[in-house]
Each structure stands twice: as C-alpha cells, then as structure tokens.
Structure 1
C-alpha cells in the first residue's frame, strides 16, 4: 500500500510538473507570436507611410486626387519587384522549416522576427487600399475570433487530428485558386476564396493549438530544452500564419476601401 501511495504521489507530481511546463510553453508560443504580430504591423504601417506622399513634385505615380506613390512606393508596389515581395514570406516559411533542425532556438527566433518584418513589407499595401478604421476593426474581430478558436483547441477533449489532412488539402486548393484568380480577376471567385479562406484558417487555429499542446506533452518527458525552444518558435509561426491569413481574408470581406 505504501509503495502504491509513493507511485501515485510521484505520478501526481510528474503530472503537475508537465502542466506547469505546458503553461510556460504556451505562454512562450503566444508571446513570440504576439511580438511577431507587432513587428509585422509596425513594419507595414511604416513602409506604407514611406510609400505615399501628398506632394506631387515627389510623386512617381498617382493614387488619387490627393495621394501619390513615392519612388519607393512605386518600386515595391508597381515594379516587377512586387512579385518578389509577395512570395518572400513563403520562402522564409519553407526555409525556416527546412533549417530548424540545424540551427539553435535563438537563431530560429531571430529568423522568425525577420520573417515577421518581411511579412509587414508584403502586406503593407493594405494601408493604401483600406481605411485605417476598418483595418483596426477587422483586426479586433480577428483577435477575438482567434482567441476563441485557440482556446477551444486547447481545452477540448475532442481529437482534432483528423481535421489536419482535410484542412491541408483545402489550403492547397485555396492557394491554387488564388493563383488562378490573379490572372482571371473574378470578383465572385475572390469572394468565394475569402469565405473559404476564413473557414480554413479558423479550423487550422484550433487544430494547430491542439497540436502544439499534444506535441509538448509527448516530448516533455525528454527534458530537451533546446528542442522545446524550437518547438515553441514553430508553434508561434503556425499560429501567426493562421492569424495573419484569417485577418487578410476577413479584411477582403469586410474592409472599407479607400
């Protein structure tokens, strides 16, 4: 009986240790993601400010009756460089995923923050297309939805792993449709893409949150802090991408254009 009590006490202590470690791990994931989001939106706002002028003498192209693109703005939004800027974040994601096993956790964090700045450059045109008020409103809507979906993924007892394959297949189809619509330029197709995109990334938010939690619990016993640090960075990247994409699709649906 005494031996059984000892085993039970040890098991309880181990479970409490894992719970405490999981909370710290999730705090790091959300903290890293939040810093990345802040870098992205500050970079986007600053770059958009440099790209637009009200001085016709400094203009490289006209946006409206009172706004003009600077030479910098013309370069990043209207020259062939725009395609490089558009796909640069994707290259960072694949690059970080391929290199994560060969670099340190601190290096992975630096790459993630650099990626967040590049993403800011990539999406900075939203400040030219949409009103500032609607950007803030959609951001708050996205934040509330993301928090609820992520909380659901964290606390639910339902296994969401079966959603993974379905959501990834849907994401691939969505990317193909977006590329096709670059050339077709169909407003109906763009609307459908935005609706489906919101649904896919809403599902991925819950799925990725549960996956981050499950992965930590499965590997916590090994106590490899370097690996756990990298796992937190990759988890932050997953949730960051879910948030950004859900925000962009909601903005397409509900944003007020300039």
Structure 2
C-alpha cells in the first residue's frame, strides 16, 4: 500500500529539480515526490545502476569525491539542460562510527564526499542561479551536525554544510537565492534494515532515545525538503529544520534513567 505521504499536489509543475544521491533511500522518495508534484527531475549518483529505473529526465553519474569528475559533470549538465530551479544536496556517506575508526584516509574520504563534493556541485549552479535571479538549494545535513552522536568525520562535514548553507543564504539572497538545510535523525532506510537484520537487538537500544519512540521515514525527510524548496517557504532562508523525532529537543534517556524514579 502506498504511503499517503507520497501523494502531493502539483506545486512544482515544470520546475527543474536536481537531486544528488538520487538512488539512496531518501533520494528515491525525493524523486518520486517531486515527480508526483509535476517537476522535471534529474538525478545524480556514483553508479549508473543506483539510478536504475527511476523516473528521471536526466541521469548524472560521478563520484563526489572526485573534484574534476564532479565539476565536469555539472558543467556538461547545465550546458545541455540549463540551470535547475531547485538543487537538493542529498548524497551522504559514512563508515567511521567512532574516533577510533577514523584514520586519515577515512577522514579525507568522508569530508571529500559529504562536504567538498556538495560544494563542487553547488557553487557553479548557484553562480548560474544568481545570473538568472532565482534559485533554491536544500542541503540534507544531519542531527550529527548539531550534536555528537558518533561518526566524527561525517559529523564535521555535515556541520560544514550548515555553515556553507548560511553563507549562501546571507551572501546570495540579494540575487534571489534561498538556501536551507534539513537535519534528519535516524532514518528507516534500507541501510538501517540491513543493519537491523544483522543486529535485531539494536532497535531496542536506539528507540528509547527518540521522544516519538521511532525512527523517522524517508518520506518525512523528503517532505521537509520539499517544503523548504516550495513557495510556501518563500520567506525562509538560512534555516535548519530538524526531522528527528524529537531527538535534539532534549535527552529523553537521561530523564527516564536519572529523574524518572524520583
């Protein structure tokens, strides 16, 4: 049964949206939602197979960790298809879960993909948006950018995205550019499903930290991004919107464990 969150009004009719990480759990939902809303959707990912049979007008394949490949792909894309109205920087990657797992190579790779890669995609597109006089950028950051929940290199990169987003909002707003960020908590994507298949007991450890008692869904994250990129958010720029089931509002586990029995 299709989730009701996948049904949207055609508020993006004929607008061109470029989504990075389009083949991932959140990316696929973004593609579907924007498509259902009337947008012309282009998607980018690091392997052609990840884009599969997604209903995309254009497919871009490049590794965000490769500056030259990324810049060339964006240059060719805008030359052939014009400048998108909306850019959703959704791609993300992490492997080093704690400081003990973060080597020099891990740090360099995660910063290259999650922060530098987003810059190399965004900067030339924003320059062209400024010349046109309009444009909208949404970064899918993370609650890891707002507090430490593990994954140190990834967290540093996602925090960098928020700083970059604010720079765009402040310095490019005069050219009709809006920039915002969504910060999800744990999202129930296939990546989490694979992890829980190996460690089913992990869910019972994760959920008590979330006031809503559950992870958020890709649809909930995607709807937040769509809101920020829509005319309904026309006065919002430089904002960070958490979609985290209440995780960053406070420490529920502390309340329950320390204060609950008093």
Q: TM-score, normalised by structure 1?
A: 0.27
Higher RCO, 1 vs 2 (CA within 8 Å, ≥6 residues apart): 1
Greater Rg by CA: 1
Q: TM-score, normalised by structure 2?
A: 0.26
